[in-house]
A and B are shown apart, each in its own frame.
Chain A
Amino acid sequence: MAAPMELSCWGGDWGLPSLHPESLTVMAYAKFSGAPLTVNTINNSWRTPKGDIPVLISEDIVISQPAKILNFLRKQKYNADYELSAKQGADTLAYIALLEEKLLPALLHTFWVEAENYCSVTKPWFASRIPFPLSLYLPGKMSREALNRILLTKGGPPLYSLSEVEAQIYRDAKECLNLLSKRLGTSQFFFGNTPTTLDAFVFGFLAPVYKVCFPRVQLQEHLKQLPNLCRFCDDILTCYFRLTISGHSPSGQDTADANLQKLTQLVNKESNLIEKMDDNLRKSPQHPPRKLTTLKLAAGGEESPLNRLSP
């Protein structure tokens, strides 16, 4: 019905389809709304038309920021917020603003600015996925941009040193996580039983914090003390992102076919074994033919020998 849509974003690891929060948000929204997106993992941000990631390309249209991508998907009738009331829509905007103001700086800091995390996890991970010689330059550039953003938005007086700014942003982030946990309560998603835009954004921001293994993890430890948020992330991962072994998120029908093929092969193997056993039994004269009711046969072709044997 719609033109084929392609999403370019960073790849994933540690059980996640992507490590980049914004890419994860867009992928989650696409799953929730049923939009058929083919996901391309890119290995450097200069291949995308404007340098932003994630990028949605549909025919000739190129859209780059998550909010705009989500708007485009809604216009194409892939709307996950269909059942929300006006007030809930307003709440969505407010909570997204809360996430961006309070949680995003700490997330950026954990990934890109904290020296131990950056040197031991983030930089090698991104460098391994970017071709040489860009792998020497791009991670550093992303780290500088993150630090810049944190200092420009949060670093004014009365906070004068980086450690004070860090303390403040982590306090804010922990408070934000507490607020989200209180808002979620015991329900499955933020607005009832169906996931919406807000769930996509929260998942996009929380999942990297939750899953990626860093040496310095104060935010992750705080998150683990909020079981309903952890359960929320795990639920979305298991229900909407069943990953293949390679770690890329499959597009629906192909997985089903691949799984069906594997299942059919297993069944065929087993039924061959059973046939052999069956022949052996029939050849030995001392044993009368028995009802082989204990044998389970899936495919229809195997039913005739069984019918012959059972009365």
Chain B
Amino acid sequence: MWRYLGERDLSNAWSAGKVKERIVQFKKWVMGLSVRTITRPKAFQKPGHLCLHLLQMAFLQMCNLPVRVVCRANAEYMSPSGKVPFIHVGNQVVSELGPIVQFVKAKGHSLSDGLDEVQKAEMKAYMELVNNMLLTAELYLQWCDDVTVEEITHPRYGSPYPWPLNRILAYQKQWEIRRKMKAIGWAGKSLEQVLEDVDQCCQALSQRLGTQPYFFNKQPTELDALVFGHLFTILTTQLTTDELSEKVKNYGNLTAFCRRIEQQYFEGHDKDNSGTAAPRSAKRSLLR
């Protein structure tokens, strides 16, 4: 029990607090495959959900698979690796982007079939770049920057629990993340250096994207889903300062990319949806 509580390290990005549960229901079943994405309810959203949630949703919708989002309070305990969101298909449960991609590929859907070997190598390299730089920068900002920690992260992380558990778990998590930062050499970095790294990463992504609609020309791939998940979260989350989102906004083609994917894969499905109550407009206006 304590192990599960301690290993819930989902804080890859932070939730805006305005995340709505959208139940997206499709009428058709594609190849007998019905996928349920399970995540935590809005009230208990830990920092770190939105990014992964979006990522998975983007990926699954790019594959044209019908997806239903379901919220459960005990989502982390249901997940095989302790991480949410995860997908539940038939009698199988798969979590984390890598295994999900492989699982979907095994079922016959793959976004990167059209790429040759060199392009696949490039795609994997860029995915590692995003994980290495953007993810670590998000973690740093969330847990190692004192202002953000006090005002946003601790309250949010401890919100489902009564006192003193909320403080204990938050400090435990913070200690764990700081240990990791020290091991990879980010502990000595100042906030400016971290922002500079994010800038470098965005510059690399922007140069790679150029004027194309997706990273590998006409078709979206896993890399597009990954980049969208991270950038969209950075752009739409309110923090104590706007510096991080400003860094991303400097690159016009990246913001256009996010908007395009949002319009194509998320808004179109909203129109089919009769049951959604969540205001999409709030989010739309944030993504300027």
* Interface membership of A100, Cβ < 8 A: yes
**Nearest chain B residue, comparing its CB with the CB of A179:** B121
A2 contact set on B, CB distance < 8 A:
none
What does DSSP make chain B's interface, helix, strand, loop or mixed? helix
Closest residue of chain A to B83 (Cβ to Cβ) is A157
Interface contact A101-B132, CB-CB below 8 Å = yes
In the assembled complex, B280 has its CB within 8 A of some CB on chain A: no
Query: Given the known A-B contacts A97-B133, A153-B183, A182-B117, are A89 and B204 also in contact in the complex, defined by CB atoms under 8 Å?
Result: yes
Output the least CB separation between B22 and chain A (Å).
28
- For residue B273, CB closer than 8 A to chain A, the reply is no
Q: Provided the pairs A86-B207, A93-B204 are in contact, do residues A152 and B183 lie with their beta carbons within 8 angstroms?
A: yes
B206-229 to A contact mask, C-beta < 8 Å, 1/0: 011010000000000000000000
Q: Flag A73-87 by CB within 8 Å of B: 1 or 0 each.
A: 000000000000011
Alpha-carbon separation in the docked complex, A87 to B215 (Å): 12
Report which of A89, A100, A102, A158 forms a contact with B207, defined as CB distance below 8 A. A89
Q: In the docked arrangement, what's the CA distance between A89 and B207, Å?
A: 9
Q: Let me know if A44 is at the binding interface, CB within 8 A.
A: no
Smallest distance from the beta carbon of B31 to chain A beta carbons, Å?
27
Most A-side CB within 10 Å, residue of B83, B121, B126, B183: B121
In the complex, which of the residues A87, A89, A98, A156 contacts B125, with contact meaning CB atoms closer than 8 Å?
A: A98
Contact between chains at A179 and B125 (CB < 8 Å): yes
Chain B positions 110-140 with a Cβ under 8 Å from a chain A Cβ: 117-118, 120-122, 124-126, 128-129, 131-133
> Could you tell me the distance in whole angstroms from the C-beta of A204 to the nearest C-beta in chain B?
16
User: What are the residues of chain B within 8 A of A278 when measuring CB–CB?
Assistant: none
- Taking A149-B183, A152-B180, A185-B118 as contacts, is the C-beta distance between A94 and B129 under 8 angstroms? yes
A89 contact set on B, CB distance < 8 A: 204, 207
Contacts of B48 in A (CB 8 A): none
A158 / chain B contacts, CB cutoff of 8 Å: 80-82
Chain A residues contacting B183 (CB-CB under 8 Å) are: 145, 148-149, 152-153
For chain A residues 211-270, which have a beta carbon within 8 Å of chain B? Answer: none
Number of interface residues of B (CB under 8 A): 32
| With A93-B200, A183-B118 as contacts: A101 and B128 at CB distance below 8 Å | yes
Contacts of A277-295 to chain B: CB distance below 8 A: none
Which residues of A have CB within 8 Å of B9? Answer: 156
Task: Note all chain B residues with C-beta closer than 8 A to A126.
Answer: none
Q: In the complex, are the beta carbons of B180 and A153 less than 8 A apart?
A: yes
Closest to A91 in B: B122
Q: Count how many chain A residues have C-beta atoms less than 8 Å from C-beta atoms of the other chain.
A: 27
- Are the C-beta atoms of B125 and A100 separated by less than 8 Å? no
Residues from chain A with Cβ under 8 Å of B81 in the complex:
156-158
Residue of A at shortest CB range from B95?
Answer: A158
The interface residues of chain B lying within 8 Å CB-to-CB of A98 are 124-125, 128-129
* B132 surroundings in chain A (CB, below 8 A): 97, 100-101
| Interface assignment of A95: CB less than 8 Å from any CB of chain B | yes
**Partner of A90 from B82, B118, B204 at Cβ < 8 Å:** B204
Q: Contact between A94 and B185 (Cβ–Cβ < 8 Å)? A: no
The verdict on B201 contacting chain A, using a C-beta distance below 8 Å, is: yes
With most chain B CB atoms within 10 A of its CB, the pick from A95, A152, A157, A185 is A157
A94:B204 contact, CB within 8 angstroms: yes
A177 to chain B, nearest CB (A): 11
A158 to B131, CA, bound (A): 18
Is A90 within 8 A of B207, CB to CB? yes
Closest Cβ of chain B to A245, distance in Å, is 36
List of A residues within 8 angstroms of B174 by Cβ? none
In the complex, the answer to whether A94 meets B125 with C-beta atoms within 8 Å is yes
CB distance A95 to B117 under 8 Å? no
Given contacts A93-B200, A153-B183, A185-B118, contact A87 B129 (CB under 8 A): no
Given A90-B203, A93-B204, A158-B80, residue A102 in contact with residue B128 (CB < 8 A): yes
Collect the chain B residues with CB atoms within 8 Å of residue A95's CB.
125
**Cβ–Cβ contact B184 & A153, under 8 A:** yes
What are 28 of the A-B contact pairs (CB < 8 Å)? A89-B204, A89-B207, A93-B201, A94-B122, A94-B126, A94-B129, A95-B125, A97-B125, A97-B128, A97-B133, A98-B124, A98-B125, A98-B129, A100-B128, A101-B128, A148-B183, A149-B183, A152-B179, A152-B180, A152-B183, A156-B7, A156-B9, A157-B7, A179-B124, A179-B125, A182-B118, A183-B118, A185-B118
Instruction: Give me the interface of B with A, judged by CB distance under 8 Å.
Output: 7, 9, 80-83, 117-118, 120-122, 124-126, 128-129, 131-133, 179-180, 183-185, 200-201, 203-205, 207-208, 210
**19 extra interface residue pairs, beta carbon distance < 8 Å, beyond A87-B207, A148-B183:** A86-B207, A87-B208, A90-B208, A91-B122, A91-B125, A93-B201, A94-B126, A94-B208, A97-B125, A100-B132, A102-B128, A152-B183, A156-B7, A156-B81, A157-B82, A179-B120, A179-B121, A182-B120, A185-B118
9 tightest CB-CB pairs across the interface, nearest first?
Answer: A90-B204, A94-B125, A97-B129, A179-B121, A97-B132, A98-B125, A94-B129, A90-B207, A158-B81
